[in-house]
Chain A
């Protein structure tokens, strides 16, 4: 008899990991692409920051969506939202590891107050450090990613915009000169296309549904709309990396998002909102670490376990 099969936990215990909390028990399968050299003549810090931006967009949105666990209107939608959250977490993990490989985790490594809590510098520890030991001012996601999701109607309006925008971004990013960004993007495109179809289907169903579902869907879209404009603003890091062939110009994504919105809203009998955008603060927005109040509350929930029990394993 094969002794390795006697206990299903033996194989896990034998794997080369230390059982840290990383997004679950002992996940440490960082992908090999993460250690690829940065493209020539690309500033390493810029590339690390860009990876962090795209990672935070996914990590924060994933955490938001997981708030629906045990709260969704139907079991099927609960499973759907959890699956979508998991897809985004998968994108975030590789991007965080890449950012860490490029040095982004170093200044947060002792932020937990206990160096033992923040690992030994391996890529999987970088993911933990960046996810759990950064404060909101050091998160550089767009504010749409952190927006409160409200009811199910608002969540679907949010997801339509978010997945449309990220899909357009990842579609172009497949041609990035950075091999990790290109690999993450190639993997993300079909997943995001599936998410967008799910969201669009619900926006139509709710908008063109009952009187109440229509009101809720329109209110949800109205609540999400002020966060849309920021999606198309380029941060200086993005601008520099666009020139280097690494990044996607956010302004170039507007046409794709507009087209999706214009395709869905008439069928859903919803109206494109006329709402002022959430303004930047002194020219600074989510990409600069200037966030809405709700990000801090969300991170408090997400980070409390890792910070309360530094170095905990299970």
Chain B
């Protein structure tokens, strides 16, 4: 009985945590982004575990605070940050990709499992096909490899001439 109640409360704590949005890309929840790893109970405490997108992501402290506030109703909250396994854009849900495109941010391509060997250096411009989130044209080019947040690059559509953000494949 007690464990069933606990089970339920852990599940509703997950549901609550899953609604917290990313501070820099508020169209996505931490769950959409694949940053929310788990919500568990440790004694009387609720423990939420998140993983950073980039090692130096400055939004991490805000995520922590938002999660702690959201979960306060479930008891004492501890938010843990874990690096393993490393985050990848492949963890962004289909729902998250749809929301990104809707908000004018081109979603990342799937990168697949990472090779254990050395990464080869390419001097050619990035060859990936990125579709303009505004007009759907695939005729787009890189404006800047680094964008306004750690995880985006800037691109321009050659068809509709509009600049847009692209979430870098990582």
Q: How far is the CA of A33 from the CA of B86 in the complex (A)?
A: 12
Residues of B within 8 A of A17 (CB): 61
Q: Which of A90-98, A108-116, A287-295, A299-307 forms contacts with chain B?
A: A90-98
Q: Which of B1-9, B63-71, B129-137 forms contacts with chain A?
A: B63-71
Asked if A31 CB lies within 8 Å of chain B CBs, one says yes
Q: Mark B101-135, 1 if CB is under 8 A from A, else 0.
A: 00000000000001011110111000000000000
Q: Of all chain A residues, which has the CB nearest B89?
A: A190
Asked if A312 CB lies within 8 Å of chain B CBs, one says no
Pick the residue among B64, B66, B86, B145 that contacts A29 (CB under 8 A): B64
User: What band does the interface of chain B fall in when counting residues whose beta carbon is under 8 Å from A?
Assistant: 35 or more
Task: Find out whether the CB atom of A90 lies under 8 angstroms from the CB atom of B121.
Answer: no
A8 CB, nearest partner CB in chain B, Å: 8
Task: Find out whether the CB atom of B56 lies under 8 angstroms from the CB atom of A260.
Answer: no
Task: Find out whether the CB atom of A91 lies under 8 angstroms from the CB atom of B121.
Answer: no
Task: Find out whether the CB atom of B146 lies under 8 angstroms from the CB atom of A80.
Answer: yes
Task: Find out whether the CB atom of A183 lies under 8 angstroms from the CB atom of B84.
Answer: yes
Task: Find out whether the CB atom of B54 lies under 8 angstroms from the CB atom of A191.
Answer: yes
Interface of B is mostly: loop
Q: How far is the CA of A12 from the CA of B61 in the complex (A)?
A: 8
Q: Of all chain B residues, which has the CB nearest A190?
A: B170
Task: Find out whether the CB atom of A184 lies under 8 angstroms from the CB atom of B83.
Answer: yes
Pick the residue among A14, A187, A201, A256 that contacts B83 (CB under 8 A): A187
CB under 8 Å from chain B, chain A span 29-61:
29-33
Residues of B within 8 A of A29 (CB): 60-61, 64, 79, 81
CB under 8 Å from chain A, chain B span 149-166:
150, 154
Asked if B168 CB lies within 8 Å of chain A CBs, one says yes
Task: Find out whether the CB atom of B81 lies under 8 angstroms from the CB atom of A15.
Answer: no
Q: Mark A232-251, 1 if CB is under 8 A from B, else 0.
A: 00000000000000000000
A264 CB, nearest partner CB in chain B, Å: 7
Q: How far is the CA of A12 from the CA of B156 in the complex (A)?
A: 36
Residues of B within 8 A of A5 (CB): 69
B70 CB, nearest partner CB in chain A, Å: 7
Pick the residue among B49, B61, B87, B116 that contacts A27 (CB under 8 A): B61
Q: How far is the CA of A28 from the CA of B144 in the complex (A)?
A: 31
Task: Find out whether the CB atom of A15 lies under 8 angstroms from the CB atom of B68.
Answer: yes
- Central interface residue in A29, A32, A179, A256, by most chain B CB within 10 Å: A29
Task: Find out whether the CB atom of A80 lies under 8 angstroms from the CB atom of B123.
Answer: no
Task: Find out whether the CB atom of A12 lies under 8 angstroms from the CB atom of B62.
Answer: yes
Task: Find out whether the CB atom of B61 lies under 8 angstroms from the CB atom of A31.
Answer: no
Asked if B91 CB lies within 8 Å of chain A CBs, one says no
Task: Find out whether the CB atom of B123 lies under 8 angstroms from the CB atom of A201.
Answer: yes
Residues of A within 8 A of B54 (CB): 86-87, 90, 191
Task: Find out whether the CB atom of A32 lies under 8 angstroms from the CB atom of B80.
Answer: yes
Asked if B148 CB lies within 8 Å of chain A CBs, one says yes
Task: Find out whether the CB atom of B56 lies under 8 angstroms from the CB atom of A204.
Answer: no
Q: How far is the CA of A83 from the CA of B61 in the complex (A)?
A: 17
In the complex, 7 of the A-B residue pairs with CB atoms within 8 angstroms, ordered by the A residue number, are: A5-B69, A12-B61, A29-B79, A79-B144, A88-B56, A91-B55, A186-B85
Interface residues of B (CB under 8 A from A): 49, 52, 54-58, 60-62, 64-66, 68-70, 72, 79-87, 114, 116-119, 121-123, 143-148, 150, 154, 168, 170
